[in-house]
Amino acid sequence: MTFRRPPWKSFKEALAAEGFHPSKRFGQNFLLDENTAAAIVADAGVKPGDFVLEVGVGCGFLSVQLLGAGARLLGIEIDRRLFGIASEFLEPLAPDSPGGSLELVRADALAKKRAIAPEILERIPANSDWHLVSNLPYSVASPVLVSLSRLPNPPRVMTALIQTEVAERIVASPGTSAWGGLTAKLGLLYDARLTRRVGAGLFWPPPKVESAVVRLELKESRPTIEQLEKTDRLIEALFQARRKTLRAVLGRVLDSKDDAVQALETIGIDPNARAETLDLIQLQTLAIAVSR
C-alpha cells in the first residue's frame, strides 16, 4: 500500500477560511518544508509500530512524515482552530500508515507549566519503549523535555526541533558557558547530540532566531528516581547562583559554610570552584554528600 501525501493547498485554504493567524502566545512557528520534516523523522529512527508523542501538531507537516514512517502517533495541539483543521486533514491518512495509527488530543502539554498534562500521561506507554518527535514551541521546549525525562517510563528517544541556543545548551560540555542546569538534568539520563540546523526561512512565520534538531537517547545506566530527586535539587540550587563559589552556595543550602567546605573537600572538589565546572559524576556524588 502506498502512503498518500496530502494536498497541501487544501490545508492552506482551510486555514485561510478560518481567518487563521499564527499565535505569538502559543509560540507558533510552523515547519513547512517536507524534506526537513522527513529528515527529522529519519534522525529520530522511527520504525513501523513505534509509539510517538508529537507535542504541537501545528500544520501537520511533521505528523504526515511520522504517519508515513508507520508511527502510532499521539498528536497534541493546544490551538482549537488548528486542532479541527488538522483532524480533518490527518485522520484520512491514518489508514494508509504502514502499521501506524493516529490519535489527536486538544490539550496543553504542560499542566501548570511544570508537569506533563494528565491527558498525555494516561495515553503514553507505562512500560514499553516510546519516542518524542516534535517541533516544540520555544517557550516550552525546556520544561517539556525535562518533565518527560522525569516520568517513570521516560521516552527512549527524544528528537526535538528547538531554538539553536537551547540545543547548544543541551549538548554542552562541563566547563563551558553553555553548560547549565538544563544540560545537567537531561545529561543524567540522556546522551544528546545536535543532528542538524534549520534555517528560519523554512518556517511560517519565520522566527527571529535559528533552530536546530537535538536527539536525546536514554542511557542504559542511569540514576534511580530517588537519586534524581536529590541531584535535581542540588542542580537547581547551584545553577541559580552559578557565578558564586560552591562554598557560598552550599553554605546557604547546609546553613553552614564549614559543613559545605567539609562536604566538598571530602569528595575532592575545590570549595572555590563554580557549578559550571562540575561534571555529572561530581554532581551526583555531591548530591549524596549533601543529603547526608
pLDDT value of position 81 = 86
Least confident piece of the model among 106-115, 116-125, 155-164: 106-115
4 or 45, higher pLDDT = 45
Please state, in angstroms and rounded to a whole number, the distance separating the CA atoms of residues 273 and 245: 6
Name the 3-class secondary structure at 219. coil
Band of pLDDT at residue 1, cut at 50, 70 and 90: very low
pTM of the model: 0.92
CA pseudo-torsion sign 269, 271, 273, 276? positive
Q: Average of pLDDT values for 36-41?
A: 96
The answer on pLDDT for 87 being more than 60 is yes
Domain 225-291 has CATH 3.30.1490.20: no
Please state, in angstroms and rounded to a whole number, the distance separating the CA atoms of residues 74 and 120: 9
Class of domain 8-218: alpha beta
- What percentage of the chain exceeds 70 in pLDDT? 97
The answer on pLDDT for 2 being more than 80 is no
Average pLDDT value over all residues in the chain: 91
CA distances from 244 to 14, 237, 248, 282, 283 (A): 54, 11, 6, 17, 16
Please state, in angstroms and rounded to a whole number, the distance separating the CA atoms of residues 80 and 107: 9
- What percentage of the chain exceeds 90 in pLDDT? 70
pLDDT value of position 7 = 56
Please state, in angstroms and rounded to a whole number, the distance separating the CA atoms of residues 98 and 160: 23
Every domain of the chain and the residues it spans: 8-218, 225-291
Q: Which is it for strands 131-135 and 157-163: parallel, antiparallel or unpaired? A: parallel
Q: Average of pLDDT values for 44-70?
A: 95
pLDDT value of position 8 = 62
